[in-house]
A and B are shown apart, each in its own frame.
Chain A
Amino acid sequence: MTLLDRLAHIDRRWIFLAMGILVLIPLLFPLALPIFAGKPVRDFNAAMETIPAGSTVLMPCDYDPGAIPELVPMTKTALRQLWDKNCKVVIPVLWPGGPGLVDRVVREVAAEPRYASKRYGVDWVNLGYKAGNEAVMVLMGQGVANAFPTDFRGTPTRGMPIMAKVRDYSSFPMLVNISAGYPGTKEWVQQVQARFHIPMVAGVTAVSAPEFYPYLQSKQLLGLLGGMAGAAEYEKIRNEKGTATSGMDAQSLAHLFVALCIVLGNVVMRRRVGGSAS
């Protein structure tokens, strides 16, 4: 049996094992590969810098634990950038599995020494989940407190200091959306950005990023973070060394391995087809 025959009949568990090892090694022994930020990421950072210091920003976090490696790092970095400008952050979540995770992520950042002064209800609020997808987005246009009369712990939002100056979308200088799919960036663009003309940037999963390039080109999105690569480039710009930066080493080898699998699979197929034809 030749090597090609062996490859043609390879047990998929060997491929799983190779992938597992390739992901594990760089996590244990980081390669510290250089990261270069692309234009969508630089634009994201630049748009965030234009937000007036001390203003209140709407930051919907529409994801659940499945998207932790890609979206949590960009959520943390965006939050740090906003809090460094002393901005306040209002966070609705349109994914039912999201509020608990988002709460944990924000509290992790708030627990960092330089943000020790940040207080829940004053510097940020987690409005939690509300069913209705696009209908909730439209309802928020009639009043954020109308759409979310209580936060995700059941506390009335109207009495919170952070909500004192928040009426509708006109209260926010920027919409920063971090999303893993539906409902998410596409719906925020279509239902809110296009209708209320609020400047918007987004961080999304790698698999959904191509969908948003038309919005980026039309300036409906002022910047875009795509997947873990986008998160790592954003960390690079912000001089942070978060989990996205360390994860890029593993992702590099994983991408290389998948590319190798595609090439090798086709070589094997061509040789077998050629062999059977002759």
Chain B
Amino acid sequence: MKREIPLLLTGALGLLMILSFFVPHQWISVPADFMQASAIVLVAFGYVLGGANVLRVNFSAIIKQKSGWPYNLVLVLGLIATLAIGAVDGCANRGGFLNEGTTSKWIYDQLYSPMASTMFALLAFYIASAAFRAFRIRTFEAGLLAVAALIVMLGRVPLTNALTTWAPEWMRLQAWQEWIMDVPQNAAKRAILIGAALGVMATGLRVILGIERTYLGAEE
């Protein structure tokens, strides 16, 4: 029964959600809407579990003094401090923990925002280094990919377009770039999207029919 009941629930609720797309009756739509609203509660609990897991993993590393454990300590202290300050600010401002003048707002503006921006900005440096070392053209297909990448990359910026303004419109890099994005890229992307969608549908059916059981923790 420990396996049959979850399988039965999954199958019944999966069918209910599929039916809600095709049957516009309140007997179907009301419970389906309730299920979708409930998903938000589950996601919120997921955050709690995620936070608990971060603490568990990092506490373990600190206690065992694994390599780089001071970083784990900073992470744990940062997490606890941010959470506590946010809770206090939220209580004092009826949920408005990001109101002007709060400590949470200061943390967001002065710590979180610059650090997140810095992480993203560092990509430019790593891309340049990776382009030099890792973008190796070993085959004809890799060569095609590299040429397409170079055209798109250069066709997207004003500098190269300014250099080709003398040419007829169809010869400019921007026109080539647009053609690559509109035709070969689009065809490949569409194929990938359709393939992924078919895969999702197949997996969904396997779950509803009880063939796919890995979510129960089983081998099969």
B133 within 8 A of A: yes
Closest to A232 in B: B158
| Nearest chain A residue, comparing its CB with the CB of B41 | A132
Docked-complex contact B160 and A256, CB < 8 angstroms: yes
User: A164 to nearest B CB, angstroms?
Assistant: 22
Q: Do the beta carbons of B128 and A258 come within 8 Å of each other?
A: yes
Q: Number of A residues contacting the other chain (C-beta, 8 Å)?
A: 68
Query: Residue-by-residue, is A1-27 near B (CB-CB < 8 Å gives 1, otherwise 0)?
Result: 000000000101001101110010000
A222-278 interface (Cβ within 8 A of B): 227, 229, 232, 248-249, 251-259, 261-266, 269
Contacts of B125 in A (CB 8 A): 15-16, 19-20
Measured between beta carbons, the chain B residues less than 8 angstroms from A69 are 117, 120-121
Residues in A with CB closer than 8 Å to B129 are: 12, 15-16, 261
When distances are taken between beta carbons in the complex, the residues of chain B under 8 Å from A262 are 131-132, 135, 146, 149-150
Which residues of A from 113 to 136 have beta carbons under 8 Å from B? 130-133, 135-136
Sorting the interface of chain B by its residue count into under 10, 10 to 19, 20 to 34 or 35 or more gives: 35 or more
Residue B75 interfacial (CB < 8 Å): no
In the complex, A35 Cα to B90 Cα: how many Å?
Answer: 45
- Cβ contacts A144-187/B at 8 Å (1 or 0 each): 00000010111100000000000000000000000000000000
Known: A101-B113, A211-B189. A257 touches B128 (CB 8 A): yes
Whether B36 is near chain A, meaning CB under 8 Å from some CB there, is yes
Q: Which residues of A contact B150 (CB under 8 A)?
A: 259, 262-263
Most buried by B among A101, A259, A262: A262
Task: Give chain B residues whose Cβ lies under 8 Å from the Cβ of A132.
Answer: 39-40, 43-44
Minimum distance in angstroms from B7 CB to a CB of chain A: 23
- Chain B residue at minimal CB-CB distance from A139: B37
Task: Establish whether residues A23 and B158, one from each chain, have CB atoms under 8 Å apart when the complex forms.
Answer: no
Question: Apart from A100-B113, A254-B124, A262-B131, what are 10 other A-B pairs with CB-CB below 8 Å?
Answer: A18-B128, A34-B162, A36-B158, A104-B109, A213-B182, A213-B189, A253-B159, A255-B154, A255-B160, A256-B157
Q: Give 15 A-B contacts (CB < 8 Å), ordered by A residue.
A: A15-B128, A31-B159, A38-B178, A65-B116, A131-B44, A138-B36, A154-B95, A214-B193, A252-B159, A255-B154, A255-B159, A259-B131, A263-B150, A265-B133, A266-B137
Residues of chain B whose beta carbon lies under 8 Å from any beta carbon of chain A: 33, 36-37, 39-40, 43-44, 46-47, 90, 93-96, 98-99, 105, 108-109, 112-114, 116-117, 119-121, 124-125, 127-129, 131-137, 146, 149-150, 153-154, 156-162, 165, 174, 178, 181-182, 185-186, 189-190, 193
